[in-house]
Amino acid sequence: MVEYEEASLLNSAFFKTSIFIVVLLYFVLGSYWLYVTSIYSPMLILNFPIYRELLMETWWIVTYYSSELGLSAGIVFRWIAGILAVYAAAIFMKDGSAALSRIRGKAGAAILLEGLYVLTYAPSAFLGFVYPIAESRNLWYFEPPPPWIIVFLVAGLACLAMVVVITPLIFKLGLRIIQKGSANEIAKWASLTGVGYLFAMFWWNYVMCWVATLVYWPERAQPGIKIIYNPIAAASFTITVAGLLLVAIFVLKVVMPAVKGEPSGVDKRKLGYALTAFSGYFILMLILYAVAGGYYKQPTTWMEIIGPHNPDHWCAFLILPGIYLAAKSRR
């Protein structure tokens, strides 16, 4: 019965199409960021003599350029991953479960490239920890220069968690897929990787951005703790800190059977609820962002991260497979 339900799921036209849409938007957003970095990175390289004078000290020049160009390299890795993922998703949409063996290599390679993308946050994490030294020496770092605590939170603590938590998990998953690991092994590492993303890439990262937003930064019209007096900001803060954490914990509980080597024990209906809630978080944040007037009306750290500088808005469309799983699965 379980095998029949899984085959029915993998061959459902709606489910296959919803997966393709999510992957396609992952690629489209990656293409947008590739366009942005194709403009920014050459400018950074061509204007090196100017930045060298601004950055002054050699160690800080190396740190700054490693962080900025490292993230640019990560964007390229994610874009290539998007190409492979769209190719695999298109074949899956056409042939369903029969295509799994044929797309294994492409899917595994895409996951490894996504892992390289996450790894390129490592120089930014290092920058976040040494920036207090740069600030104390009046070394340049964008205009207006952020207080050291903001850089420490957003670059240091947030990026370090992403690199340390996600990288080993996602590399293990990609290698297991390419090396034709068992279905139970792949389910285990896919579950652990998904949970790692939820806790490190999303919850911890966004909480650090919100804590940074509570820091007074008058040059950016950031009022500090007083921002919580704004009902929209208070709702966004609460939903991020508490709501997203609850979603992550719920997902961990749902996929625990797969982590223990029994993927058939995963309640697919509850998994659908979890995907719907997670994607609903992004949809709600975008609504609150628009109602608040966007980044240009409130240029705070949080509005920048959840708005124009967010590379993961494609997650909002996980609501499509989420609703299907919640509605169609037996359990």
Contacting residues for 67 by C-beta, under 8 A, at least 6 apart: 123, 124, 126, 127, 155
Average pLDDT over residues 24-32: 97
Report pLDDT for 8. 75
Q: Output the pLDDT for position 3.
A: 53
Question: Beta-carbon neighbour count of residue 188 at 10 Å?
Answer: 23
Predicted confidence band at 5 (pLDDT cuts at 50, 70, 90)?
low
pLDDT digits (tens, 9 = 90+) for 246-302: 999 999 999 999 999 999 899 999 999 999 999 999 999 999 999 999 998 889 999
Q: What is the pLDDT of residue 1?
A: 43
**Average pLDDT, stretch 172-193?**
95
pLDDT single digits (tens) 61-72: 999 999 999 999
Which pTM value belongs to this model? 0.94
Q: What is the dihedral of CA 100, 102, 104, 109, to 10 degrees?
A: -140
The band of 324, judged by pLDDT with boundaries at 50, 70 and 90, is very high
Indicate if the alpha-carbon torsion angle 164, 169, 174, 176 is positive or negative: positive
Report the distance separating Cα 5 and Cα 330, nearest Å. Answer: 8
Per-residue tokens: 36: 């942005």
Residue 287, CB half-sphere, CA atoms under 13 Å: how many? 9
Provide the token pair at 57. Answer: 């000290």
- Condensed to tens digits (0 to 9), the pLDDT of residues 197-228 reads 999 999 999 999 999 999 999 988 899 999 99
Query: Of 4, 10, 183, 5, which is closest to residue 96 (Cα–Cα)?
Result: 10
Provide Rg for the chain, Cα atoms: 21
Position 40 pLDDT exceeds 70: yes
